[in-house]
Structures are given as C-alpha cells and as structure tokens.
C-alpha cells in the first residue's frame, strides 16, 4: 500500500514515518511543503521517498493521484479551526484517510460532514487516531468490560517537561485557554472554563500534579457512547506547577477581556518553556479513572496508568494511526465511511508499542 504521511518530517509525522518505514506492506511517502526537508528525512528511512506537496494547493487532488496514494495520514495540525479540505480531497481521489486530530469540533462533526462521500468512494476516513479518543476509548473499554453502568470517567494526561513540543500543539491548547467549554457534570451539560481552576491529580508512578480542564473530543463523544451517568472530565497536568498556574492566569485574563487571543502567545511560550526544563524531567504519563457498577452489581472504582520515561511520551499520540495504517496495509477491510477512532482498537493492540518504548502500565483498584 502506498502510504503518504502529510507533515511527515514534523513532530508527530516523523515518528509515524519511522515506525512505518521498512514495513514490507507499505511504500512510504514522506510529504510536506518543503521538498528538500522531505527528501532529506526520507533518505534516512528504509523504503521511503520524500515528496513536496502543498495541502492548500489547487492541484492537491491531482498530486494524490499522480503519486498513486492509497492511504493518507494527516498530521499537519493544529486541527482546531481547520476545515475538511484534506479529507474531501482524499474522498475525491479515492484515498483512505487517517488523521491525528484532537480538535473537538473537527472530530465530533467529522462523520456528518464526510460519511457520504467516503461511502460513495468505498474508502474509510478515520479522525482522532491519537491519544484521544483512540487510546482513551480502548482503555475505557478494557476497564469497564461487562459493567452495568458507568458513573464517572476522569482522564488526565501529564506530559514530561523536557519532551519535544511543537508550536502548533501549543497554539491548539491555547486556543481554548479561558474559553467556555461544555462539560458533562452532575448528569447534565454545564459550562466550565478551559485551563482555569487547576486541581491536584494523583498518578501511580509520577508525583501528583496540578491539572486543568482541556477541550477534547472525548468530552462530547464519551457521555453518549458510554452512557456516563454523572461526570466526564479531561485534564492536562503540566510537570512544572508554575507553568500550570501561568495557564490559569492567562485563562483568567481572557475571561476578563484583557487577553483576546491566547494563541498569539504560542511562539513566545514555546521559546521560553525550555528555561523551566531544569525543574522537570523526561517522565510523563496518563491516567484514566472510572467508577460505576460492575457485572455483579457491585460498586467499583478502577484506574489505568501509563508512565513514559526518557521523553518518549510524544510517541503515544502516534500509536493509533500507526496501528490503523498497518491493519489497512495488511489487507484488513474496515467499513467504508467517515467516523471517529472510537473503540476501533483493543487496549492489547497497544501493548507492543508501549513495550517498544519502555512504557509501563498499571491497573489499580481504588477505594
């Protein structure tokens, strides 16, 4: 299968290309706007070719056909505010599509906008093939298998301070800093502010951290998908507490109208973040906590933890797309159409990838 990774020499795209290179089922195309960078990066990979391509160009559909692309993996974020032009071009060109989107509206509105053209093309388009909702849903499926009811669902990601970070990612998370977000709480939809009011979160192999509300697709998809009765929450916990509090201050300033667009600070904050690296480490992780009623009618609380050391945390958002690409390239047929990457992987599917990077997982029964 001819697989093109759009943004293939970027932060996440490069990781996906390294994982897919050398796969005997895949002919890899490393694609980006800068053909020289694409070629230089591809030269270090087995069986890869660099390609200059502009996703905003008028000939994007023609380029997909000329390169005989069969699957496109879109990593060129941020996806907050991005339209569906790339996916629409794939449908037009008869190309399977996968992205790493974590933008709430992008992922949640994806199926309605694109299902019909991909069914017509007899191709599959999968959005959110990343930590959320791909891995997060796999974890919830494993933790709650056979349960009668799910009452609360709390997720927190905890990136390592020294892990590689991109300006695009920072720009994406700042876009909703201090913005009103709809959250399922108390059995109804309520408005809460992004990145405001940090609170303490406990981890199994990491020190506790301050975490604050983030806007991700799970907040909208999971309450209905899992019939969550009381609460669904998603937090991000930065390793350096001062950085977490700085985000809270920025959220407070936006709420009062003193900062109109926190995203404009992305480049500055990205450049200054390294100054705090001595206060942090290369250890990051994630926790998923669930509470409800098990198959026998007993109340239960359970948590899944993952710890990623040596700055390997950014590999996690790439794993779901890598697994999907391998499945398609091996000949697996997924139902045609467009849909989010929700319960498409089993948690066990990720185990070899976790082991590859020395990541450790734990399931803890909580009181």
Give kind and range of the element (H or E) at residue 190.
strand 188-193
Q: What is the spatial distance between Cα 303 and Cα 143, in angstroms, rounded to a whole number?
A: 8
DSSP secondary structure letters along 204-269: SSS--EEEEE---THHHHHHHHTTEEEEEEEEE--SSHHHHHHHHHHHHHHHTTS-S-GGGGHHHH
Q: What is the spatial distance between Cα 234 and Cα 228, in angstroms, rounded to a whole number?
A: 14
**Tokens representing 38?**
């694409």
Closest CA to 133 of 113, 118, 153: 153
Instruction: Identify the pLDDT of residue 325.
Output: 98
Instruction: Identify the pLDDT of residue 321.
Output: 98
Instruction: List the CATH code of the domain at 2-130+316-351.
Output: 3.40.50.720
Closest CA to 47 of 30, 72, 34, 33: 30
**pLDDT digit of tens for each residue in the chain (367 aa)?**
999 999 999 989 999 999 999 899 999 999 999 999 999 999 999 989 999 998 888 899 999 999 999 999 999 878 888 899 999 999 999 999 999 999 999 999 999 999 999 999 999 999 999 999 999 999 999 999 999 999 999 999 999 999 877 777 788 888 899 999 999 999 999 999 999 999 999 999 999 999 999 999 999 999 999 999 999 999 999 999 988 998 999 999 999 999 888 888 777 777 777 788 888 899 999 999 999 999 999 999 999 999 999 999 999 999 999 999 999 999 999 999 999 999 999 999 999 999 999 999 999 999 8
DSSP secondary structure letters along 31-94: EES-HHHHHHHHTTSTTEEEEE--TTSTTHHHHHHHTT-SEEEE-----TT--SHHHHHHHHHT
| Backbone φ, ψ for residue 66 (5° rounding) | -65, -35
Instruction: Identify the pLDDT of residue 179.
Output: 94
Under 8 Å CB-to-CB from 121, ≥6 apart: which residues? 91, 92, 94, 336
For the four alpha carbons of 325, 286, 11 and 61, in that order, the dihedral sign comes to positive
Instruction: Identify the pLDDT of residue 49.
Output: 96
**Tokens representing 220?**
């909208």
Instruction: Identify the pLDDT of residue 263.
Output: 83
Helix (H, G, I), strand (E, B) or coil at 326: helix
Pairing of strands 299-308, 228-236: unpaired
pTM reported for the whole predicted model: 0.94
Top-tier CATH class for 132-314+358-366? alpha beta
Q: What is the spatial distance between Cα 279 and Cα 272, in angstroms, rounded to a whole number?
A: 13
Residues 269, 273, 278: CA angle, nearest 5 degrees:
165
261: region left, alpha or beta (phi > 0 left; psi from -120 to 50 alpha): beta
Instruction: Identify the pLDDT of residue 243.
Output: 87
Under 8 Å CB-to-CB from 16, ≥6 apart: which residues? 5, 8, 73, 75, 318, 321, 322, 325
Domain boundaries, the chain: 2-130+316-351, 132-314+358-366
Q: What is the spatial distance between Cα 320 and Cα 157, in angstroms, rounded to a whole number?
A: 16
DSSP conformational letter for 120:
H
């Amino acid at each position: 299968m001819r697989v093109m990774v759009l943004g293939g020499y970027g932060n996440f795209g490069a990781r996906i290309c390294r994982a897919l290179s050398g796969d005997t089922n895949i002919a890899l195309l490393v694609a980006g706007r800068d053909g020289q960078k694409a070629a230089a990066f591809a030269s270090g990979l087995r069986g890869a070719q660099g390609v200059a391509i502009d996703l905003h160009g008028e000939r994007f559909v023609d380029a997909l056909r000329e390169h005989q692309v069969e699957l496109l993996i879109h990593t060129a974020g941020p996806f907050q505010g991005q339209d569906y032009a790339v996916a629409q071009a794939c449908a037009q060109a008869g190309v399977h599509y996968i992205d790493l989107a974590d933008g709430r509206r992008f992922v949640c509105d994806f199926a309605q906008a694109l299902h019909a053209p991909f069914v017509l093309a007899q191709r599959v388009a999968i959005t959110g093939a990343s930590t959320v909702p791909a891995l997060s849903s796999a974890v919830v499926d494993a933790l709650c298998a056979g349960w009668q009811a799910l009452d609360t669902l709390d997720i927190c990601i905890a990136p390592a301070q020294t892990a590689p970070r991109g300006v695009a990612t920072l720009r994406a998370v700042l876009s909703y800093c201090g913005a009103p977000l709809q959250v399922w709480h108390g059995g109804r939809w309520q408005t809460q502010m992004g990145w405001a009011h940090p609170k303490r979160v406990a981890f199994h192999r990491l020190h506790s951290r301050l975490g604050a509300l983030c806007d991700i697709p799970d907040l909208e998809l999971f309450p209905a998908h899992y019939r969550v009765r009381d609460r669904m929450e998603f937090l991000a916990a930065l390793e350096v507490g001062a950085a977490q509090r700085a985000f809270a201050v920025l959220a407070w300033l936006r709420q009062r109208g003193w900062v109109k667009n926190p995203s404009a600070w992305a480049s500055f904050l990205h450049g200054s973040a390294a100054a705090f690296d001595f206060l942090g480490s290369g250890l990051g992780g994630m926790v998923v906590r669930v509470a409800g009623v098990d198959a026998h009618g007993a109340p239960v609380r359970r948590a899944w933890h993952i710890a990623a050391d040596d700055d390997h945390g950014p590999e996690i958002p790439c794993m779901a797309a890598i697994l999907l690409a391998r499945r398609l390239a091996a000949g697996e047929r997924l139902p045609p159409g467009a849909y989010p990457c929700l319960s498409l992987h089993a948690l066990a599917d990720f185990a070899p990838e976790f082991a590859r990077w020395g990541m450790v997982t734990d399931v803890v029964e909580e009181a």
